[in-house]
Homo-oligomer: A and B are copies of this chain.
Amino acid sequence: MTRCDHCIARQLSAMKSMTKEELKLVSDCKTTRFFKKGDVIFEEGEALNGVFCVRDGVAKLTKLNANGKDQTVKLLGRGDMIGQRSVISNERTNLSAVALNDIELCYVPRDQIVNPLQKNQEFSFDVLQNFAKDLKNSEDDLVNMAQKSVKQRIAETLLYVHRTFGVDANGYLSVVLSREDYASIVGTATESTIRILSQFKKDGFISTEGKLIKIENLEKLRQVE
């Protein structure tokens, strides 16, 4: 079994401030899980008795609204933790997690997270700082959602995916999302997303190859109004 202290995810997550002993416990208890593209990792309303840590791959957190539509709340990549909140507040999760491509997760039981949280000040302060950052991002997202046009939100999502997950050898966004995925992130109809992406193509801001998207002009995308 892979040891946690070598895991690349550790470099990126709050777990970097766990002690060697704590990390050893995590290492011993954790189980590694693989999910295929499209697999549901957990469903809204489930009780999570542990935390997932993304070792490799990308997942989305979604929330079902009253009309039966999914809203994507967050994308998660390497080093991100899933389910910390539910574990800390001891509530069922209010989000579903779905794999966007093949993904490898470590599942760490609740106790191995909560115990260090209650004993290791550095770790708990780190998690607190992560939460503070998440909250700030969340506020920014809210303002964007409230005040920007669909076109702007799509442009920003493309830039976000580019910035966060990078590009493949040919310059295409390495995370491949369907038009419906993009629609679910910006909170609009799939048709609107398709139309706007087509427009971006005509404008030369992006190019596509099947489902792959390449950003051709970062600056123009930033200036979309």
Contact = CB atoms under 8 A, between A and B. Distances in A.
Interface residues of A, number: 40
B136 A73 contact: no
Contacts of A203: none
Contact of A125 (B95, B117, B186): B117
A88 interface: yes
A73 B124 contact: no
A141 B146 CA distance: 10
A2 B225 CA distance: 52
Contacts of A135: 85, 131, 134-135, 138
A83 to B, nearest CB: 11
A187 B134 contact: no
How many subunits of this chain does the assembly comprise?
2
A129 B89 contact: yes
Contacts of A89: 129, 132-133, 136
20 contacts: A63-B143, A65-B147, A67-B147, A69-B147, A71-B146, A73-B139, A73-B142, A85-B135, A88-B128, A88-B129, A89-B129, A91-B136, A94-B136, A94-B139, A117-B128, A121-B124, A131-B131, A135-B138, A138-B142, A142-B145
